[in-house]
Amino acid sequence: MAVMTYREALNLALREEMKRDPRVFVIGEEVGLYEGAYKVTQGLLKEFGPKRVVDTPIAESGFTGVGIGAAMVGLRPVVEMMTFNFALLALDQIVNSAAKMYYMSGGQYNVPIVIRGPGGPAHQLAAQHSQSMEVYFYHVPGLKVVRPSTPMDAKGLLKASIRDDNPVIFIESETLYAVKGEVPDDPDFVIPLGQAIVRREGRDVTVIAYMGMMYRAMEAAEELEKEGISVEIVDPRTLRPMDTATIIGSVRKTHRAVVVEAGAGFAGMGSEIATEITEEAFDDLDAPVERVTGENAPMPYARNLERAKTPSKERIMEAIRRVCYAERS
């Protein structure tokens, strides 16, 4: 196993899949000559040439449509959004074409496309570039939605997404590109879509979190350990299809749950997971499921306000104490 950054793991996954399958190509703004705004496509143009690493104009709807068309006729495009906030410009292509083509063509055309890029709050990217974009996509039948939190997941899940015959929304994070971790060398290592993982075992409460919030929950868990609260952390990894079995299994063990998400809470991932838990594990709950979410406001640019909008370690700890009926130490 090699230790590499999240960015390198994504790059490796792309290279391996492009080598493995000549139908795989990369398309997007600055993916070729500039080697990616966040250097995820570094070296790909040199290695695979301009037919398989395609620079486009600044026109998300256009190049996403090109990708969908290519996928319909048998290629396996990986479309890069410079940031996922730009996918709003391609929303009609993604929602009305990619997600529904298989259904509306009566199964004649499937769309094996991956649309990837960074999303979620980062560092002072302000109101338009800090959004948790997954919420726009996991609501749509026909799309799979992936949020990989570690380098290993980044590689294993991107490869699984490229090999998947359905459109996959694959949202990375600016804040995680430099995170290092162990990544298997095996070119056939994939992590199947729809499998959650228990990141940390605990007895008293299940915290469900992904991406940056997963790391923040991990810090909260370490501190609460000192207070005698044993926190289990489940990372869904794939938001749709959601691995509810792993989440419910954990809640049945701990009897309490807290869901953390960076985006504003209303009708967010936390609402969905809280509902699943209530429906499936009501009799196992000793406390109502709590959500810790971003504030209901556009992301401010100011550093201090950005911090105030995003769930903090302290807010996560408070919610965990509440569901555990524990007094603050």
- Site size toward another protein (CB under 8 A) is 17
Check 129, 172, 174, 276 and give the catalytic one: 129
Query: Is 275 an interacting residue with respect to another protein (CB under 8 A)?
Result: no
Q: Which one, 228 or 298, has the nearer CB to another protein?
A: 228
Contacts 24+ apart (CB under 8 A), 282-286: 284/251, 284/252, 284/255, 285/251, 285/255, 285/256, 285/257, 286/255, 286/256
Reduced to 3 states, what is the DSSP secondary structure of residue 3? strand
Minimum distance of another protein from residue 260's CB (angstroms): 20
Cα–Cα distance, 293 to 261 (Å, whole number): 5
Is 30 one of the annotated active-site residues of the chain? no
Q: Which one, 51 or 282, has the nearer CB to another protein?
A: 282
180: part of which helix (H) or strand (E)?
A: strand 180-183
Check 60, 232, 261, 290 and give the catalytic one: 60
Query: Is 231 an interacting residue with respect to another protein (CB under 8 A)?
Result: no
Which residues, at least 6 apart from 210, have a Cβ–Cβ distance to it below 8 Å? 147, 149, 235, 236, 237, 239
The position carrying tokens 């590109």 is 177
Taking CB under 8 A as the criterion, the residue among 107, 108, 304, 325 binding another protein is 325
Q: Which one, 76 or 255, has the nearer CB to another protein?
A: 255
Minimum distance of another protein from residue 47's CB (angstroms): 55
Other CB atoms closer than 10 Å to residue 82's CB: what's the count? 19
Minimum distance of another protein from residue 253's CB (angstroms): 12
Q: Which one, 207 or 299, has the nearer CB to another protein?
A: 207
The position carrying tokens 């699984």 is 160
List of residues contacting another protein (CB under 8 A): 204, 226-229, 255, 282-287, 324-327, 329
Active-site positions read 60, 129
